[in-house]
Amino acid sequence: DKYTRPAVKTEIPGPKSKELAARTDSIQNTGALSFFCDFEQSKGNYLVDADENVLLDCFQQISSLPLGYNNQELLDLCKNDHFQATLLNRPALGTFPGLGFPQLVEDSLLRVPPPGLNQVITMACGSCSNENAYKAIFMWYMKKKRGQEMPVLDDLAYETCMKNQVPGSPKLSILSFDGAFHGRTLGTLSTTHSKPIHKLDIPAFDWPIAPFPRLKYPLEVHESENAAEEARCLEIVEDLINEWNTKAPVAGIVIEPIQAEGGDNHASCEFFRKLRDIALKYDIAFQVDEVQTGMAITGKWWAHEHWGLETPPDIVSFAKKMFVGGFYFSDAIRWNMGYRIYNTWMGEPSKLHFLKKTIEIVNSQNLVNQAQLTGDYLMKGLKELESAYPALLNSSRGQGLFCATSISGDGARDKVSKDLLNQGVLVGSCGNESIRFRPSLLFSPAHVDIVLDKLNVALNNV
Chain residues 233-252 in contact with a second copy, contact rule CB under 8 A: 248
Marked catalytic residue, from 49, 289, 314, 419? 289
- CB of residue 182 to a second copy, shortest distance in Å: 12
Q: Which amino acid is at 338?
A: G
The number of beta carbons lying within 10 Å of the beta carbon of residue 315 is 28
The number of beta carbons lying within 10 Å of the beta carbon of residue 141 is 18
Instruction: Write out the binding residues for a second copy, residues 248-287 only, by CB under 8 A.
Output: 248
- CB of residue 319 to ligand FES, shortest distance in Å: 8
The per-residue DSSP string of 358-379 comes to HHHHHHHTTHHHHHHHHHHHHH
- Pick from 199, 306, 383, 415: which binds a second copy (CB under 8 A)? 199
Instruction: Write out the binding residues for a second copy, residues 10-39 only, by CB under 8 A.
Output: 16, 20, 23-24, 27-39
Is residue 18 annotated as a catalytic residue, yes or no?
Answer: no
The site string for a second copy over 156-195 (x = CB under 8 A, - otherwise) reads -xxx-xxxxx--xxxxxx----x----xxxxxx-x--x-x
Is residue 181 annotated as a catalytic residue, yes or no?
Answer: yes
Judged by beta carbon, residue 125 or residue 359, the one nearer ligand FES is 125
Judged by beta carbon, residue 151 or residue 218, the one nearer a second copy is 151
Is-cis flag, bond preceding 13, omega within 30?
yes
Marked catalytic residue, from 9, 344, 380, 449? 344
Decide: 250 and 282 in contact? Cβ < 8 Å.
Answer: yes
The site string for a second copy over 104-133 (x = CB under 8 A, - otherwise) reads -x----x-------xxxx--xxxxx--xx-
Marked catalytic residue, from 320, 321, 356, 454? 320
Is residue 320 annotated as a catalytic residue, yes or no?
Answer: yes
Please, which residues bridge with residue 286 across strands?
A: 253
Half-sphere exposure of 35 (CA within 13 A, CB side): 26
Residue count (the chain): 462
Instruction: Write out the binding residues for a second copy, residues 332-371 only, by CB under 8 A.
Output: 334-345, 354
- Taken in order 126, 180, 406, 225, the sign of the CA dihedral is negative
Q: 155: helix, coil or strand?
A: coil
Is residue 35 annotated as a catalytic residue, yes or no?
Answer: no
Judged by beta carbon, residue 160 or residue 185, the one nearer ligand FES is 185
- CB of residue 446 to ligand FES, shortest distance in Å: 37
| 413 alpha carbon, distance to own chain's centre | 22
From the list 63-71, 296-304, 375-383, 440-448, the region that binds a second copy by CB under 8 A is 63-71
- Pick from 147, 152, 201, 246: which binds a second copy (CB under 8 A)? 201
Residues that bind ligand FES in the complex, under the rule CB under 6 A: 124-125, 127-128, 185
Judged by beta carbon, residue 185 or residue 363, the one nearer ligand FES is 185
Judged by beta carbon, residue 87 or residue 385, the one nearer a second copy is 87
- CB of residue 228 to ligand FES, shortest distance in Å: 39
Q: Of all helices (H) and strands (E), which one includes residue 157?
A: helix 156-161
Decide: 323 and 27 in contact? Cβ < 8 Å.
Answer: no
Pick the closest to residue 262 from 431, 437, 62, 435 (CA basis). 431
Q: Of all helices (H) and strands (E), which one includes residue 288?
A: strand 285-289
Pick the closest to residue 321 from 413, 187, 443 (CA basis). 443
Please give the Cα distance from 440 to 45 (Å, whole number): 7
Catalytic center residues: 181, 289, 320, 344
